[in-house]
Amino acid sequence: MEALLVHPDPPPPALTQALEQASYPWKAAAGAQAATAAEPDDGWSGAVVCADADPEGAFALCRALRKRDLPLEPLLLVVTGSQLGDLELREDLFDDFCLVPPQPAELEARLQHLFWRTGRGTRPELVEYGPLILNLETYQAVIGGRPLDLTYMEYELLKFLATHPGKVFSRETLLSRVWGYEYYGGARTVDVHVRRLRAKLGNEQEHLIQTVRSVGYRFGQSRWGI
């Protein structure tokens, strides 16, 4: 893959760390002229523009990248929460955005999704439900931009539930489908893992895993909205 164009130069440490943890090759540029001078022979693969320190300079660079004979895409904008209002009427300058400080798992998931949308890469196997993103290739989970620190079985249980939203599963079914038919643990294993998952999802998102009394568990809303 060609290098990503990153702004500013040098990038904020949090952005540098996120890009390196996601294993993306990149080069930094302070502005449009520097971006042209540093552009690889095979072109930029996309751009990540951080706008928190110098928003006017960042938007000016985005504008220049979009006005090229072949507009540069995908373009991911990194902003603070207080800058969200500045994005209105500027949707043509970027393809997606994330908040400062960018988290490695979220940054990678968003970039891979953008590469797929623009035909610049292969779409990763993602499971997305509201604020939840599961990357099935890297075993990473993100909720509202916050990485989740899950054990292997917590991830497997969340993945199974999230890929069957609205469907109710008994504890016995979850044991056989997630843990395997050879697992001899009791149904309490499921309850323990659900409790841990809800704690890690946080107060605002714990409702994603619902208890269906006398039956088992359901992820998200039922297909009838009940």
pLDDT in tens, 4-56: 999 999 999 989 988 887 778 899 999 999 999 999 888 899 999 999 999 99
**What pLDDT is recorded for position 224?**
37
What residues make up the domain containing 117? 4-124
| Average pLDDT of every residue of the chain | 87
Q: What is the DSSP letter of 199?
A: H
- Helix (H) or strand (E) segment spanning residue 61: helix 55-66
pLDDT for the residue numbered 182? 62
Question: What's the domain count of the chain?
Answer: 2
**CATH number of the structural domain spanning residue 119:** 3.40.50.2300
User: pLDDT value at position 226?
Assistant: 37
107 in Cβ contact with 32 (< 8 Å): no
Whether residues 12 and 85 fall in one domain: yes
Of 172, 157, 158, 171, which Cα lies nearest the Cα of 211? 171
- Residue 97 included in any domain: yes
pLDDT of residue 124: 56
Task: 210-215: list long-range contacts, CB under 8 Å, 24+ apart.
Answer: 212/168, 215/168, 215/170
In-domain check, residue 78 = yes
Residues 188 and 151 in one domain: yes
Rounded (5°) CA angle 215-155-214: 5
Do 152 and 183 fall within a single domain?
A: yes
Kindly indicate the confidence band of residue 121, based on its pLDDT and cuts at 50, 70 and 90: low
- What are the phi and psi torsion angles at 217 (to 5°)? -135, 150
Cis peptide leading into residue 147 (ω within 30°):
no
Question: What's the pLDDT score for residue 82?
Answer: 92
Percentage of residues of the chain with pLDDT beyond 70:
91
Instruction: Say if 138 falls within a structural domain.
Output: no
In a domain, 133, yes or no: no
**pLDDT for 172-215, tens place per residue?**
999 988 988 666 667 889 999 999 999 999 998 999 999 999 99
Within a domain: residue 225? no
The first and second tokens of residue 142, run together, are: 């993100």
